[in-house]
Structure 1
Amino acid sequence: MYVCSCFGITETEVRAHADAGACTPRRIASVSKAGTDCGSCVRRIQSILGRGAGCPRRELLGGPAEAPAGLVDEALVVPETVLTEAA
């Protein structure tokens, strides 16, 4: 079943990305673009992912949570210095 009709992303693909470590809607978006166009699928993605079970918390990692290697589209990554300057 399609979760994101804008980019043709299926529930199976979302679950596979989640199993590989993309445990938030933002991480799913960075690896598949799901949720980045009309946004109507974001709630469905959230429901598939659950309430963050299995997603390491930043405090436990000692810094910002990182996506596993190969799951991040480098063009979508914002340098941490930009994030800290905006805060």
Structure 2
Amino acid sequence: MNRMFVCNCFGITEEQVKKHADDGACTPRQIASACKAGTDCGSCVRRIQALLGRGACPTRELVKDGNPAVALASDAELPEAA
């Protein structure tokens, strides 16, 4: 099995980021809340953004449907990444 690491600081793989995205994490901050990726050196944040940009995101669909308040509310409850 060939693992592609996204976050070397915490050993987070592409598959783990994709799983968190499938579970509803649609922003790097939400991924950080789920698994800490992007919260240490920060070098993986752009890679996380790229991975999130490739998949469908329920929150993005809400914004497209004309309800950005719902999408923003889901992000507002998350703690700040360190």
The answer to whether the superposition gives a TM-score over 0.5 is: yes
Task: State the Cα deviation string for residues 7-56 of structure 1 (Å, max 9, x = none).
Answer: 00000000000000001000000010000000000000000000784242
Looking at secondary structure, tell me which structure has more helix per residue. Answer: 2
Counterpart residue identity of residue 11, structure 1: E
Q: Structure 1's 63 and 40: CA in aligned 2 closer, same or farther, altered over 3 A?
A: closer
TM-score, reference length from structure 1: 0.67
Cα distance in 2 for partners of 1:2, 1:25 equals 16
Q: Structure 1's 9 and 60: CA in aligned 2 closer, same or farther, altered over 3 A?
A: same
Identity of aligned residues (%): 61
TM-score, reference length from structure 2: 0.71
Cα distance in 1 for partners of 2:33, 2:12 equals 13
Indicate which of 6, 10, 13 corresponds to 2:13. 10
**Structure 2 runs not aligned, ≥5 long:** none
Q: What is the correspondence of 1:62-81 to structure 2 with a 5 Å cutoff?
A: 64-65=73-74, 77=79
How many residues matched?
70
Cα distance in 1 for partners of 2:71, 2:30 equals 19
